[in-house]
Amino acid sequence: MFDALPLLPADPILGLSAAYHGDTNPNKVDLGVGVYKTEDGLTPVLQAVSKAEALLLKEQTTKTYTAPAGIAGANLAAQRLAFGSEHSAINGQRIATVQTPGGCGALRLAAELIKKTRTNARIWVSTPTWANHMPLLGSAGIELIEYPYYDFERHNIDFDAMMAALDATLPGDLVLLHACCHNPSGADLSQEQWLAVTELAKHKGFTPFIDMAYQGFGQGIEEDAFGVRVMAEQLPELVLATSFSKNFGLYRERAGSLSIVGEDAAQARAIQSQVLSIARGLYSMPPAHGASIVDKIYHDQALQTLWITELKSMRERISQLRSDLVAALSQQQSSRDFSFIEREHGMFSFLGLNVSQVQQIKQGFSVYMTDNSRINIAGINKSNVDYLAKAICRVI
């Protein structure tokens, strides 16, 4: 049955990781895999998470299935973090939220619902976007259309081109937007631009489909949710995929949620029933551990305060690393302006190297990044930033 299956090439990111681990150069630098790292290169378990797990271990009396929608407290936390505690969509009971296996599960579950609801649906995705958006959404059988977003030469958002492209959307189309910390560019919409896209959505009739994987890693928990909140306030429908992998450090626990805003409470209840039916056929019941941690942290004031402090520390460290890299590059050369790195948010940025230069820096300096020169800022630390800057300057 399977004898005709060809061997597929390794995933580019995972292949980079394997090559890095096999490299014996003591100065090697891993800027590939998109996970947060400490100064020591570790992806930590947050103190708030450890404390919550200890409490859960004492309280837990069963390993039976969760409810189909998941941990109710985690879903409530997801809503309040994304929309704000007093948002009109929450007060009007317009939001259907279900727990999913990570942000990936939320994206795919949404895609299946969209395909079931509208067989000819189209989803517009930014160029570039997170690579996994394509298989997660496209494998559901939905047509994907790309719209221009990032100007690689100017290192900023080509907003005019973006808006001109989205002017061709049709009622019933969806537009995939990154809530904050755009992956892979780090270039985020301003508040004024979010408002402009919201007005365009009103005019054209498309539905925003927002992926929020990094809330709190950009400018702050509240600030990073601006687009979600204004669109949910002013538009009749919105799709939101949320991940707790980054801001709670729950990568392997696969904790996420899908929230869909409907026109009214009755529509939200109908949406909830449809989403749960689809989830039943995909994975049946969601995992409990990661969501239980989110529930515990959000609803324990001391733990929530600790988590917010730790999240702020991670955000500020990433911001400082951006400044450190720009300063180190400026000391090494003056022919190229890298200040755009400081204006971006989150863990990612494009250095502006070509494929040949990326290969040179990998082979000559053991610096690992994707072929389009996307780097994970969190892979930088005080001990390697000067080495990295010198390596970049050598290849440019």
pLDDT tens column, 51-91: 999 999 999 999 999 999 999 999 999 999 999 989 999 99
- pLDDT of 8 reads 83
CB 265 within 8 A of CB 92: yes
211 is annotated as an active-site residue: yes
Token pair of 292, please?
A: 């239980």
**Which residues make up the CATH 3.90.1150.10 domain(s) of the chain?**
12-45+304-395
* Residue count (the chain): 396
Catalytic position from the list 37, 51, 130, 188: 130
Q: Give the sign of the dihedral formed by CA 118, CA 237, CA 186, CA 40.
A: negative
Sign of dihedral through CA atoms 341, 344, 347, 350?
Answer: negative
What local confidence, expressed as pLDDT, does residue 13 receive?
A: 76
Whether the ω angle into residue 287 lies within 30 degrees of 0, i.e. cis, is no
Annotated active-site residue 124? The verdict is no
Q: First vs last Cα of the chain: how many Å apart?
A: 50
pLDDT computed for residue 276 by the predictor:
96
- Name beta bridge partners: 156: 151
Is residue 12's pLDDT more than 80? no
Summarize pLDDT for 245-267 with one digit per residue, the tens: 999 999 999 999 999 999 999 99
| 392 phi/psi in degrees, rounded to 5 | -60, -45
* Average pLDDT of span 131-149: 94
Question: Which residues is 242 bridged to in the sheet?
Answer: 212, 257
pLDDT greater than 80 at residue 10: no
CA angle (111, 68, 256) in 5-degree steps? 55
**Amino acid, single-letter form, for residue 229:** R
The architecture of the domain spanning 65-299 is 3-Layer(aba) Sandwich (3.40)
Per-residue pLDDT, 230? 97
Is 246 an active-site residue? yes
Catalytic residue among 211, 224, 295, 324: 211
Question: Considering just the CA atoms, what is the radius of gyration of the chain in Å?
Answer: 21
Residue among 246, 295, 296, 362 flagged as catalytic: 246
CATH number of 12-45+304-395: 3.90.1150.10
Tokens of 267: 């529509």
Render pLDDT for 316-348 as a digit per residue (tens, 0 to 9): 999 999 999 999 999 988 888 999 999 999 999
Domain with CATH 3.40.640.10 in the chain: 65-299
Confidence bin at 105 (pLDDT 50/70/90): very high
